[in-house]
Structure formats: C-alpha cells, structure tokens
Amino acid sequence: MHSPAIAIARTPLVAVYGTLKRGLRNHHWLNGADFVGTDVLTGVTLFDLGPYPGARLERSMGVEIEVFRVDAAGLKDLDVLEDYRVRRPASGTYDRVVHATAFGPAWLYLYNRDVAGCPVIREGGWQPRQSVI
C-alpha cells in the first residue's frame, strides 16, 4: 500500500479555492490540467486577503474547492505562482500539503502569513471583489 504522498506523486491532484478556480483570473495556470470535480472541505477555513484568499487548516462549515489533475511541470508552475519553497516551506507565502478530498489525496496550498483582521470564510467559497469605476 502506498502513502498518500507517493500515490499523489504519480497522478498529482491539486485542490484550488481562489483565483485558480474556473472562470477566475489565474485559471490559465491550469491550462492542460484535467478538471476532476468540486468538493467541500470542512477541515479548511479561508481568509479573504483582498485580491486572493488564503487557507488554513481550521474547522469550518465547508469551503468549496475545485480539484484538478496536473503533471509535474504544472505543479512546479503552481509552486512558483504560490511562492511555495520546497526546501523551506515556512519561508514562502504558501506551504503545500496533502489533504483528503472526495477524489483522493490532493495538494492544497496553505497560507503562511498573518491573517489578523482578514475576513473569515467558514462556509461557501471566496469571490473576487468587484472593482468600482
């Protein structure tokens, strides 16, 4: 039997909850990735950071995610976008951990910075703010 980290290395799944979701501004980073489906995670809470959200491993009523299958090159690209530092994860903007989803274990980017004063999303999903002209 393989551990989740080994299994995911063969067919990496990534769970996204912010600007990488379909129809949002950074979804192009997932060009070539296969959309697997949507899920709701109750072990994750989102924080509205303004232009994007950050996730923390905290209980919630359920936050919405989308799951994609990416190749190794796609995962490396996402690491660059999310400022994930393989050798020193705590020093980057995000850390990357394996989290259970309805489709199996998936990589999930967790926010490393301070979230004090940020609006909390414990149910539903993050929505980009509308620009006022």
Which positions are annotated as active-site residues?
Answer: 82
CB contact set of 57 (below 8 Å; sequence gap of 6+): 43, 44, 97, 110
Closest CA to 46 of 108, 120, 118: 120
In the chain, the amino acid numbered 6 is: I
The Cα–Cα gap between 124 and 72 comes to: 30
The distance between the two most distant Cα atoms of the chain, rounded to a whole number of Å, is: 56
CB contact set of 44 (below 8 Å; sequence gap of 6+): 17, 55, 56, 57, 58, 60, 63, 65, 99, 108
